[in-house]
Structure 1
Amino acid sequence: MDTELLKTFLEVSRTRHFGRAAEALYLTQSAVSFRIRQLENQLGVNLFTRHRNNIRLTAAGEKLLPYAETLMNTWQAARKEVSQTSQHNEFSIGASASLWECMLNSWLGQLYQAHTTMQFEARIAQRQSLVKQLHERQLDLLITTEAPKMDEFSSLLLGHFTLALYCASPSSLKADLNYLRLEWGPDFQQHETELLAADDVPMLTTSSAVLAKQQLSALEGCSWLPVSWARTQEGIHTVSDSSTLSRPLYAIWLQNSDKQTQIREILKTSIFA
């Protein structure tokens, strides 16, 4: 469907005059008549009854009118969206809530300072969903704690960060606390077994470090939090008889991504700076 045909149909239906429609569209009257005939031929119906100085919509034209308006509005919205994308260097980055809260929020601020012409989208979701979006080209870059398992992905080890077990009360022991699971990926579950009995379950499971931290006191719990972030928080303490854990951080993207140049430039800004 040629949108210009619909645009001409709407203008003729508004003015009820081929001449005035031609003036509004900066066309000749014969061009307007030709477009209307094209549209009628495509639909197989007459859209207007033509009498001297009396142009009216047929029943078919009346039915087409709301659809034509909707299609043109949708087309204009699509053109605007695509135009904005071309005018701005849009780049989408996906990560879990906890990574955004504890590490990537400040990094995003550095990216805006280093890349003043870029427009970023910070997307929050579970890793499995983000991997799917990356595969379907709905996401440009994934930051995660697990290496990719698919050959079509490229990856870069960005570094490591340290997790420690935190609670709300000083000098607390693991055995006296409820475990609040902050999700750090499936391969992290092996580190959680020492905090849970065989048939036990965490009192809380969340992907948000902020939420987990806020519930430490109310639930008399403990949770693995990044040490660098926890040091900036008030009212939390390391569990006395716990150790620290090191976690890797990867950047993952499609090998054939059309944003290879932007990815390389963005990854020059260190998350661990």
Structure 2
Amino acid sequence: MDIRFLTTFLEVVNTRHFGKAAENLYLTQSAVSARIKLLEEYFHTSLFERHRNSIQLTQAGEKLLPFAQQLCDTLNQAKRALREQTAEYVVLGATQLASDLRLVDLLRFLHSDFNAWSIKAEVLTLDHLTRQLHERVVDFALSTEPVKSEDVICHPIVSIPLGLFSLNENTKIQSSEFVAVDWGSKAHEFLMHLHPDLRDAKLQTNSLNVAISTLSSEGGLAILPMQPNGHSIHFPHARLLQPVEGIGVTVYLSMLKTSKREGVADMFTAIKAWTQLNPVN
């Protein structure tokens, strides 16, 4: 049985509300309901009595409660004990675009300036990344949207302007040549206002690296990160068709305010300082 089922059970007990439990666990309400249902199937009994305005434990739920608390506490103690026995390490999670824009350079910096640390890097969705940050599975989070939580320090480490670039010799703008990178709703609205004919792109992706590979092999046009001088960061000879005025992409670095791991706060400060000296180029 997945231990997360028990942590979900405990959160529902604490909040007496499936919706609030889902919000605290960064899950959908349907996911919380599904976990409780699987837990009830596992024990072959109902754990909650569901009323319109309240959720109460059944007798079986009351009996399970101390065991669930004990199991979760024991596993958390085991995690802490094992971490103390292992070498220094840090877990870095990133959303897809943040990974494409900053992760490789950041890893190079960490390997150079924090070479005594072992690093684990993962690419996750924003919801998954936020949840793992709160669960202390991830030490640092890189994202192109701020992590909205009072428990998290969220610092913008770089902001990059965007522009519509063409790698083709012809000047015609057509959807059959357009590679659409998901830069967010504002960039999409800007593009659709000026070029509604680009609604049907030949490729839509949330990966900048996939877009760059496609453009390198097939040519085309796309909204891409732009240097202050108006050149594409990834294709210096690409032709700028139009700057995406007032809209760019920002990469945020986040960590828990209450992180007690020794050295993590110093690393957070060092990363912020490094990014100020090393803009994306």
Which bracket does the TM-score occupy, shorter chain normalised?
A: 0.5 to 0.7
Q: Is the 8 A contact 2:95 2:124 kept in 1?
A: yes
Residue 209 of structure 1 corresponds to: 208
The number of residue pairs the alignment matches comes to 194
Please list every run of 5 or more consecutive structure 2 residues that lacks an aligned counterpart in the other structure: 1-77
Residue 166 of structure 2 corresponds to: 167
Superposition CA RMSD, Å? 3.5
* Mapped partners of 1:224, 1:171: distance in 2: 17
Please list every run of 5 or more consecutive structure 1 residues that lacks an aligned counterpart in the other structure: 1-78
The 1:197–1:93 alpha-carbon spacing in structure 2 relative to 1, beyond 3 Å, is: same
* Mapped partners of 1:174, 1:255: distance in 2: 47
Residue 134 of structure 2 corresponds to: 135
**Match of 1:132, as an amino acid?**
R
Q: Do structure 1's residue 190 and structure 2's residue 189 form an aligned pair?
A: yes
Deviations along 1:31-70, one digit per CA (max 9) or x if unpaired, are: xxxxxxxxxxxxxxxxxxxxxxxxxxxxxxxxxxxxxxxx
Residue 240 of structure 1 corresponds to: 241
Residue 275 of structure 2 corresponds to: 271
Pairwise CA distance, 1:162: 2.2
* Mapped partners of 1:138, 1:147: distance in 2: 18
| Match runs of 1:1-273 below 5 Å | 86-170=85-169, 172-175=171-174, 178-186=177-185, 188-194=187-193, 197=196, 200-216=199-215, 221-227=220-226, 230-233=232-235, 237-243=238-244, 245-259=247-261, 261-269=263-271, 270-272=274-276, 273=278
Q: Is the 8 A contact 1:179 1:196 kept in 2?
A: no
Pairwise CA distance, 1:188: 4.4
* Mapped partners of 1:260, 1:232: distance in 2: 37
Structure 1 window deviating more from structure 2 (202-211 vs 212-221): it is 212-221
* Mapped partners of 1:171, 1:84: distance in 2: 58
Q: Provide the secondary structure at the position in 1 that maps to 2:136.
A: coil
Q: Provide the secondary structure at the position in 1 that maps to 2:138.
A: coil
Pairwise CA distance, 1:179: 3.3
* Mapped partners of 1:168, 1:104: distance in 2: 26
Q: Is the 8 A contact 1:94 1:122 kept in 2?
A: yes
TM-score by length of 2: 0.56
* Mapped partners of 1:203, 1:105: distance in 2: 28
* Mapped partners of 1:167, 1:221: distance in 2: 6
The 1:154–1:129 alpha-carbon spacing in structure 2 relative to 1, beyond 3 Å, is: same
* Mapped partners of 1:83, 1:125: distance in 2: 25
Pairwise CA distance, 1:91: 0.9
* Mapped partners of 1:112, 1:196: distance in 2: 43
Structure 1 window deviating more from structure 2 (218-227 vs 141-150): it is 218-227
Pairwise CA distance, 1:139: 1.2
* Mapped partners of 1:88, 1:175: distance in 2: 54
Structure 1 window deviating more from structure 2 (145-154 vs 111-120): it is 145-154
Q: Is the 8 A contact 1:141 1:263 kept in 2?
A: no
* Mapped partners of 1:164, 1:260: distance in 2: 41
Deviations along 1:182-229, one digit per CA (max 9) or x if unpaired, are: 223455443343366399343322222221022236666422222359
TM-score by length of 1: 0.58
